[in-house]
Structure 1
Amino acid sequence: MPLYNYICEECGPFDSWESMSNAANACACPACSEPSARDVAAPRLNLMNTTLRRAHTRSEKSGSEPKVVKRSHLAGCGCALCKVGPQKPTPTRHKWMIGH
């Protein structure tokens, strides 16, 4: 269950643990029992470690702004991004061909 922020018009802001199915509904204020609307809250990303925060940012960015790649780039350029470049043929070696 996530922790949601609510604002009571009489008592002020408060937090409440609610199930996700009740997230859109008003919550009763713990002090005056009046129905209170949910407040929009930003996620607490500053509490994450740096590596996880960067990965989250990269994931969010790629969901809405995927990287545009040219067709010629994917045609086997051999760069580290696509790794589909032409393979060098490996010479056939057998145990009996040690010096040849």
Structure 2
Amino acid sequence: MPIYTYTCNDCGTFDTWRTIVDATNEINCPICTKPSPRQVALPGLNLMNSTLRGYMSRSEKSGNEPRVVNKKHLAGCGCPICKIGKPKERPTRYKWMIGH
């Protein structure tokens, strides 16, 4: 259940847990028990780090319609996916070469 903010004309604002179905209904103030309407809250996107905001935006977009990526590799690009190219040859070492 999300937390919603309600405003009492006498006591001020207060937060309470409500179901989404009951969120639009007025609730009684916990101090004076007068009916209090829900306060409309705007998301604090300007307070969020711009990098994090970008990640969240991309996450929301890809949740509904994931983007299909077709990546073509160049010959010998060396990426671990395609493994194109010969492995590097190691120089031959003999016991008599140690220390020389």
Q: Give the TM-score normalised by the residue count of structure 1.
A: 0.53
- Aligned counterpart, 2:27: 27
CA separation of 1:85 and 1:92: change in aligned 2, threshold 3 A: closer
Deviation at residue 27 of structure 1 after TM alignment: 3.2
Structure number with bigger Rg: 2
* Amino acid in the other structure paired with 1:23: T
Which whole-Å CA distance do the structure 2 matches of 1:33 and 1:5 have between them? 16
* Amino acid in the other structure paired with 2:73: G
Q: Which runs of 5+ in 1 are unaligned?
A: none
Out of 87, 92, 99, the position equivalent to 1:96 is 92
Correspondence 1:1-100 to 2 at 5 A = 3-6=3-6, 11=9, 14-16=13-15, 18-19=16-17, 22-24=18-20, 25=22, 27-30=27-30, 32-69=32-69, 73=70, 77-78=72-73, 86-91=82-87, 93-96=89-92
1:20-56 deviation per Cα after TM superposition (whole angstroms, max 9, x unaligned): xx33445322564134454553321111011111111
Which whole-Å CA distance do the structure 2 matches of 1:61 and 1:14 have between them? 34
Q: Does the Cα contact within 8 Å between 2:28 and 2:35 map onto a contact in 1? A: yes
Which whole-Å CA distance do the structure 2 matches of 1:49 and 1:66 have between them? 24
Q: Which runs of 5+ in 2 are unaligned?
A: 94-100
* Amino acid in the other structure paired with 2:34: E
* Amino acid in the other structure paired with 1:90: K
Equivalences, count: 84
* Amino acid in the other structure paired with 2:4: Y
Identity, % of aligned pairs?
39
Q: Secondary structure at the match of 1:4?
A: strand
Q: Give the TM-score normalised by the residue count of structure 2.
A: 0.53
Q: Pick the structure with more helix per residue.
A: 1
